[in-house]
């Protein structure tokens, strides 16, 4: 085992640049990891990324990156619909994987990835690792200690992010690293707000209250076209989805992903029980988000940089590879959230509530003793 993890960045688009290349090129991580390779199918983009961020090697083809012996792990910064196929190829090549959200688009794909990785000895870390935030660990501890009483209902969701992607500064320039087209965000199979942003909300919610049991939903398309720099983008992925989630014991949650509007704060859930509530980062009016809070590794210059939560997840994989330290940003939690989203679309299409078959192990009170 080498003393540093060579990362291969798969896709030099918006997330590849802002989450992987910018962070992993910083001096303070070079003792544990380095940018071994980058690949991108757009002509000239990988080579430009190599020059700008000091990457060792640049490739057009993903297969060439996987064949690079310096690459110990990959971060999949490609469109979500490609993650399953790319993950299976990486596992076959013996490369550890960090997934940008979501890990796959369907539960069966996630299960096949998990099983194949286990058989091959490949480690998987899946964004978004929301329970790495100290405030979430304090909120989870409060729930387990009974601060909310019996849980009754919750709401969570996000909206309006498609417009954000259209207007990201990294898409407004005139070279291959700044003119990145967002068309895939609006297309099947991996586009739409559920996979893009509601995934954060569902990781927060399930991380705090545990796995769900059943889902029903309504879903549809509000905006069939979007405009990007004078180009009309066709949209065929639902952009307005409302989930009703059953956690058992008469505890229900509403989760949304839409083109506009909000009933909750950011990606935070609101959770109500018989003895109290969580709203935003507040537990019964006491803010669990403390000054100076940060996730592991988000120190030095990294808190001032965008997408630092993704960088944190990538470094979780580094810790696991080098120190044999597993992470709570695990594939089983990601698979459960994917199944909630996937089952929601199925419920909306069929009109039939969908029972969930996956689960994961949320943080226990013993694991949260330091969450003060």
What DSSP character marks residue 132?
G
DSSP string, 188-207: TTT-SHIIIIIHHHHHHHHH
The residues near 201 (Cβ < 8 Å, ≥ 6 apart) are 156, 157, 158, 255, 264, 267, 268, 269
Residue 341: how many other CB atoms lie within 10 Å: 25
pLDDT of residue 160: 83
Separation of alpha carbons 37 and 32, rounded Å:
16
> In terms of Cα–Cα distance, which of 271, 314, 275 is closest to 296?
314
The residues near 168 (Cβ < 8 Å, ≥ 6 apart) are 14, 180, 182
Query: pTM of the entire structure?
Result: 0.97
pLDDT in tens, 317-365: 999 999 999 999 999 999 999 999 999 999 999 999 999 999 999 999 9
pLDDT of residue 163: 76
Sign for the pseudo-dihedral over CA of 280, 142, 206, 356: negative
pLDDT of residue 1: 54
pLDDT of residue 265: 86
Question: β-strand 214-220 against 354-355: which pairing, if any?
Answer: antiparallel
Number of H helices, E strands in the chain: 12, 17
Residue 369 phi, psi (nearest 5): -65, -25
Contacts 24+ apart (CB under 8 A), 186-189: 186/162, 186/226, 186/233, 186/234, 186/235, 186/236, 186/237, 186/239, 187/81, 187/234, 187/235, 187/236, 187/237, 188/81, 188/236, 188/237, 189/80, 189/81, 189/105, 189/237
pLDDT in tens, 22-32: 999 999 999 99
User: Which segments of the chain have a pLDDT < 70?
Assistant: 1
What DSSP character marks residue 223?
-
Residue 324: how many other CB atoms lie within 10 Å: 9
Structure token pair of residue 136: 């979430």
At residue 267, the 3 state secondary structure works out as: coil
């Amino acid at each position: 085992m080498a003393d540093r993890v060579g990362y291969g960045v798969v896709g030099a688009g918006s997330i590849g640049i802002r989450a992987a290349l910018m962070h992993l090129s910083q001096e303070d991580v070079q003792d544990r990891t380095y940018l071994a390779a980058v690949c991108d199918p757009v002509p000239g983009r990988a080579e430009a990324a190599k020059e700008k961020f000091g990457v060792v090697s640049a490739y057009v083809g993903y297969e060439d990156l996987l064949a690079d012996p310096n690459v110990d792990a990959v971060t999949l910064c490609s469109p979500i619909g490609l993650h399953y196929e790319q993950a299976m190829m990486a596992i076959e090549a013996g490369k550890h994987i960090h997934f940008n959200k979501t890990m796959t688009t369907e539960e069966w794909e996630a299960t096949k990835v998990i099983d194949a990785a286990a058989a091959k000895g490949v480690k998987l870390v899946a964004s978004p690792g929301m329970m790495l935030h100290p405030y979430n660990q304090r909120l989870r501890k409060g729930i387990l200690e009974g601060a909310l009483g019996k849980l009754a209902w919750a709401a969570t969701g996000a909206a309006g992010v498609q417009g954000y992607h259209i207007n990201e500064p990294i898409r407004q320039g005139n070279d291959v690293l700044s003119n990145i087209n967002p068309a895939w965000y609006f297309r099947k199979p991996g586009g739409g707000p559920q996979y893009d942003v509601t995934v954060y909300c569902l990781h927060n919610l399930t991380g705090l209250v545990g796995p769900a049991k059943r889902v029903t939903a309504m879903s549809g398309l509000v905006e069939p076209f979007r405009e990007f720099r004078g180009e009309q983008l066709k949209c065929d992925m639902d952009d307005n989805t409302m989930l009703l989630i059953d956690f058992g014991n008469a505890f229900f949650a509403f989760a949304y992903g839409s083109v506009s509007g909000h009933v909750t704060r950011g990606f935070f859930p609101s959770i109500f029980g018989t003895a109290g509530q969580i709203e935003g980062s507040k537990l019964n009016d006491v803010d669990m988000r403390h000054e100076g809070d940060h996730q592991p590794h988000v120190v030095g210059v990294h808190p001032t940089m965008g997408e630092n939560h993704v960088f944190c997840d990538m470094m979780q994989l580094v810790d696991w590879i080098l120190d044999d330290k597993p992470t709570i940003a695990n594939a089983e939690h990601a698979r459960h959230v994917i199944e909630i989203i996937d089952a929601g679309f199925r419920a909306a299409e069929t009109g039939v509530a969908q029972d969930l078959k996956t689960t994961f192990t949320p943080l226990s009170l013993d694991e949260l003793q330091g969450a003060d």
